């Protein structure tokens, strides 16, 4: 079995149920299932907001983009806020070219934020 070329660390943010998921390395086929499971566990758990930090990601394939988009939709359905932050270099370019950068970086509002706005 090949060694994964990615790592993930979940970091709870002290302010009100927010969680930061920091990803490093390559988001390729080897990472898809694990990343999606981690995202779904956070958005369907007690977190009110999930920030997915791509600052240390060096590569993302089309399946990885699909995972990030599925995370966005799952968070929206669960009433959990969701934002992708810090994509760098080629990762940002790929997100922009595929047309998902704006929706992922603007993110989904949490149920709490929707209630406060309305």
Could you tell me the CATH number of the domain that includes residue 19?
3.30.750.24
The pLDDT of residue 110 is 66
* Residue-range definition of the domain harbouring residue 81: 6-117
pTM: 0.89
Select from 17, 106, 15, 10 the least CA-distant residue to 53. 10
Is residue 94 within 8 Å of 60, Cβ to Cβ? yes
Is residue 73 within 8 Å of 44, Cβ to Cβ? no
Is residue 112 within 8 Å of 80, Cβ to Cβ? no
The pLDDT of residue 100 is 96
Domain count within the chain: 1
For residue 1, tell me if it sits in a domain.
no
The pLDDT of residue 118 is 55
Count Cβ atoms within 10 A of the Cβ of residue 113 and give its class: 0-12 exposed, 13-18 middle, 19 or more buried. Answer: middle
């Amino acid at each position: 079995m090949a060694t994964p070329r990615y790592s993930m660390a979940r970091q709870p943010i002290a302010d009100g149920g927010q969680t930061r998921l920091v990803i490093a390395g390559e988001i390729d086929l080897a990472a898809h299932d694990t990343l999606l499971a981690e995202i779904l566990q956070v958005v369907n758990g007690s977190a009110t907001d999930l920030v997915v930090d791509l600052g240390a990601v060096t590569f993302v394939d089309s399946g990885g983009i699909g995972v990030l988009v599925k995370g966005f939709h799952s968070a929206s359905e669960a009433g959990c806020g969701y934002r992708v932050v810090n994509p760098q270099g080629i990762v940002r370019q790929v997100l922009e070219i595929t047309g998902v950068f704006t929706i992922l970086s603007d993110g989904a509002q949490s149920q709490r934020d929707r209630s406060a706005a309305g």
